[in-house]
């Protein structure tokens, strides 16, 4: 499969600078175990109840739909289902790199050697995206350019708004209706599983 072969190539890139960044004391170095998928970008670890959001990655909102070749499909639900299928029954190994403005851990997460965010971007499940004041993942944008060029997934639907624009348009519509809006909020390699993480 072309994507899997390409994924291995992306995993071979050494991103030591990403892990060399200062590590906040309230952020664990590693979280390992089974997860419950909250949405296409966020997990809750079953045993520790830690909530983790994938760094450098964003996916369509659950309610978003797309249209490809005249066929409508639930883009947000597909993205969430993809993440469930990738993690179901698997141990997920996350390397947290910080916390977002809501104090949620942001991390690079893997199943085996598969980088979940990079693979989702390569398969057109979501987008490379960095929130302000969060660590940048430039390699994801290179992966996204390839997926966009091939017209994979979200890139097969020219009218599908990226989630950050969709959220902004939804908030603007709610504000014009007088309703109060709700607040939204180089490629990493997997860390070896340590005894402490189990």
- Give the residue-averaged pLDDT of 12-28: 55
pLDDT digits (tens, 9 = 90+) for 42-67: 999 999 999 999 999 999 999 999 99
Residue 145 lies in a domain: yes
pLDDT digits (tens, 9 = 90+) for 149-168: 999 999 999 899 988 887 76
pLDDT digits (tens, 9 = 90+) for 116-148: 999 999 999 999 998 888 888 999 999 999 999
Residue 10 lies in a domain: yes
Residue 191 lies in a domain: no
Residue 67 lies in a domain: yes
Residue 190 lies in a domain: no
Query: Are the C-beta atoms of residues 92 and 110 closer than 8 Å to each other?
Result: yes
Residue 198 lies in a domain: no
Give the number of domains in the chain: 1
pLDDT digits (tens, 9 = 90+) for 75-87: 999 999 999 999 9
State residue 16's pLDDT score.
Answer: 38
**CATH code for the domain in which residue 13 is found:** 2.40.50.90
User: Across all residues in the chain, what is the average pLDDT?
Assistant: 82
Q: Which domain holds residue 33?
A: 2-176
Sorted by sequence, the CB contacts under 8 Å of residue 56 that are 6+ apart come out as: 117, 128, 129, 130, 134, 135, 136, 137, 140
């Amino acid at each position: 499969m072309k994507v899997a072969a390409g994924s291995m190539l992306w995993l071979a890139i050494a991103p030591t600078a990403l892990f060399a960044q200062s590590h906040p004391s309230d952020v664990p170095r590693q979280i390992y175990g089974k997860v419950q998928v909250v949405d296409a970008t966020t997990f809750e670890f079953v045993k520790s109840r830690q909530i983790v959001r994938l760094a450098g990655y964003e996916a369509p909102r659950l309610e978003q739909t797309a249209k490809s070749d005249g066929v409508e499909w639930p883009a947000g639900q597909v993205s969430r289902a993809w993440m469930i299928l990738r993690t179901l029954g698997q141990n997920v190994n996350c390397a947290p790199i910080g916390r977002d403005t809501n104090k949620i851990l942001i991390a690079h997460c893997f199943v085996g050697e598969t980088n979940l965010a990079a693979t989702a971007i390569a398969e057109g499940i979501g987008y490379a995206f960095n929130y302000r004041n969060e660590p940048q993942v430039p390699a994801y944008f290179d992966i996204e350019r390839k997926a966009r060029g091939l017209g994979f997934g979200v890139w097969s639907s020219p009218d599908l708004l990226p989630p950050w624009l969709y959220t902004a348009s939804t908030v603007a519509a709610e504000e014009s209706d007088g309703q109060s809006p709700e607040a939204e909020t180089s490629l990493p390699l997997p860390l070896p599983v340590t005894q402490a993480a189990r």
